[in-house]
Structure 1
Amino acid sequence: MDNPVYKLLIVEDDLGIAQAIQTQASMWNFDVRIVENFRDVTGEVTSFSPHIILLDITLPFFNGYHWCSEIRKFSRVPIIFISSAADNMNIIMAMNLGADDFIAKPFDLNVLLAKIQALLRRSYDFAPTSNVLAHRGALLDLNDHTLSFNGEDIPLTKNEYRILSCLMEQKGKVISREKLMERLWETDQFVDENTLTVNINRLRKKLDSAGLIHFITTKFGVGYLIES
């Protein structure tokens, strides 16, 4: 199984620096977005659902401290500050607001990528051989049956895990209700159509609450799918 593609959001108004990071990160198979709307950085975080954020201090309209504070109101996604203002007071301020690391400009791109990868390993506890299914920023670990999104865990029951893993394993394909019920029978419990419906509805509510809106699509009379 392919390793998951990590999503990196760059909040940097120096386009030359941002594009240099983007080029380097893309070589390591990162999905990279550079923020364009500096009036609504949190909106771009919500729409892109990154696994990690690079955040400059000096930005148009609002500084990086403001955006770090705003992001921390709804997400624990790892944040690395990148700034030429690397004195102790700025580093302490960044860490107190919830940043995970601080890298002084100018920096070596290879060192930056190494720090990004190290922080991802610490944050998501992924070994290179992790058996993980990824979609829209959601990460389903098949080894320990955990689901995470934006650095936060989403608790799943056994049945919810089995439904979600079945759908994510065959992303883009419609899975019949009968196939899903067969997967649930692996728990040694008899499952009827009403039980399946209840489990699907509960799973959807959890996903919606976490920000994964319309993650599972219903094909009436056929089954369910996660659209690729």
Structure 2
Amino acid sequence: MFRIFIIEDDAKISSMLKAHVEKYGYEAAVLEDFDRVVERFESFQPHLVLLDVNLPKFDGFYWCRQIRHVSTCPVLFISARDSEMDQVMALENGADDYITKPFAYEVVMAKIRSSLRRAYGSYSGRQEERKVEEPGGLTLYPERFILSSAGASVELTQKESMLIEALMNRAGRVVSRNRLLDLLWEDHHFVDDNTLNVYMTRLRKKLKELDMEERIETVRGAGYVLRTMGEETP
């Protein structure tokens, strides 16, 4: 079932949109806390977003850019602002379409169905983006080398992405140095032993930007472990 995320501060409009979306068999969620837009987005993991321009604190253009850091799902703007410049700004900030208010709900549904077909249909030319999640709140988008948590995200290098994915896939368990070396380099026997330490230091710096620097622990003589949230260090 496709999930539709509605970011609209007019309670009447958001309620009507939700009712129409659910009427057509989709799952819908309405944002209620405008301080946690990306966090709620990542929790719900929608296939499509309906996004207003005029919102509390930050406008829809800003939030569209933030969503684009963590997802390529279709974003449809719905707004009473009908100038050409607003529509241009929406598209240049990552939107897929722009619907002006007042609108016919059937037109909105038609655009939703069309966008979902283009994004996820058999002729879309792409598959749904792969992501790796772990219970501690980290989400990795390996195809784009993006690591995110609680609404914040950082860009990784390819090898940093490979390292954190290996640790996330075995969260709470030690991943040996040899296993990581085999993963990153075809013949690690010609790689300086300190090289892995350098990459791990860089990865920890990226995690520090997400307030998760302490998640990776070095297990002397064994390898590294991504500690799960709440897990005590032995």
The residue aligned with 1:225 is 226
Matches within 5 A, 1:62-211: 66-71=58-63, 76-77=68-69, 79-83=75-79, 85=80, 87=82, 89=83, 92-97=85-90, 98=93, 100=95, 101-104=97-100, 105=103, 106=105, 107-109=107-109, 111-116=111-116, 118=118, 127-128=126-127, 132-135=130-133, 136-141=138-143, 146-148=144-146, 154-158=155-159, 160-168=160-168, 170-172=169-171, 174-178=173-177, 179-188=179-188, 189-192=190-193, 194-209=194-209
Q: Distance in 2 between matches of 1:56 and 1:103?
A: 10
Tell me the secondary structure at the aligned position of residue 103 of structure 1: strand
Q: Per-residue deviation at 1:75?
A: 5.9
Instruction: Report if aligned partners of 2:132, 2:165 keep a CA contact under 8 Å in 1.
Output: no
Q: Per-residue deviation at 1:195?
A: 3.1
**Taking structure 1 as reference, are residues 72 and 226 closer, same or farther at Cα in structure 2, changes over 3 Å only?**
farther
For each residue in 1:15-62, what CA deviation from the matched residue of structure 2 results, as whole angstroms up to 9, or x when unmatched?
Answer: 242355368444xxxxx6531124x3xx32256446764212465x56
Gaps of 5+ in 2: 230-234
Q: Per-residue deviation at 1:140?
A: 0.7
Amino acid at match of 1:35: L
Q: Per-residue deviation at 1:224?
A: 1.8
Pairs aligned (count): 195
For each residue in 1:87-117, what CA deviation from the matched residue of structure 2 results, as whole angstroms up to 9, or x when unmatched?
Answer: 4x2x541432535121353235364043156
Gaps of 5+ in 1: 27-31
Matches within 5 A, 1:12-51: 12=8, 13=11, 14-18=14-18, 20-21=20-21, 24-26=25-27, 33-38=29-34, 40=35, 43-46=36-39, 48-49=41-42
- Structure with larger Rg: 2
Tell me the secondary structure at the aligned position of residue 186 of structure 1: coil
For each residue in 1:142-182, what CA deviation from the matched residue of structure 2 results, as whole angstroms up to 9, or x when unmatched?
Answer: xxxx41368x9934144x243234234x2545242333234
Q: Distance in 2 between matches of 1:186 and 1:48?
A: 38
Instruction: Report if aligned partners of 2:68, 2:94 keep a CA contact under 8 Å in 1.
Output: no
Q: Distance in 2 between matches of 1:153 and 1:219?
A: 20
The residue aligned with 1:29 is none
For each residue in 1:164-205, what CA deviation from the matched residue of structure 2 results, as whole angstroms up to 9, or x when unmatched?
Answer: 34234x25452423332343342544352x432321221232
Taking structure 2 as the reference length, what is the TM-score of the superposition?
0.58
Q: Distance in 2 between matches of 1:25 and 1:95?
A: 29
Taking structure 1 as the reference length, what is the TM-score of the superposition?
0.59
